[in-house]
Structure 1
Amino acid sequence: MPATKKRAYARYTLSAVTLLGRMIALERKTRRMTAQELADRLGVTRGTLQRLEAGDPKVEVGLAFEACALMGVRLFEEDAAGLTLRAEEAGRRLALLPKYARPLNPAVDDDF
Structure 2
Amino acid sequence: LGWLAGQWGFYMGLGVRPSPFVSNDALALLLFMMGLPPFMFFVSPIFASLSRRDEYQADAYARSNANAADLVRALLKLYEDNASTLTPDPMYVSFYYSHPPASARIAALGLDAASLAGAVA
Given the two structures, how large is their TM-score scaled by the length of structure 1?
A: 0.26
- The structure with the largest helix share of the pair is 2
Given the two structures, how large is their TM-score scaled by the length of structure 2?
A: 0.25
Higher normalized contact order (CA 8 Å, seq sep 6+, divided by chain length): 2
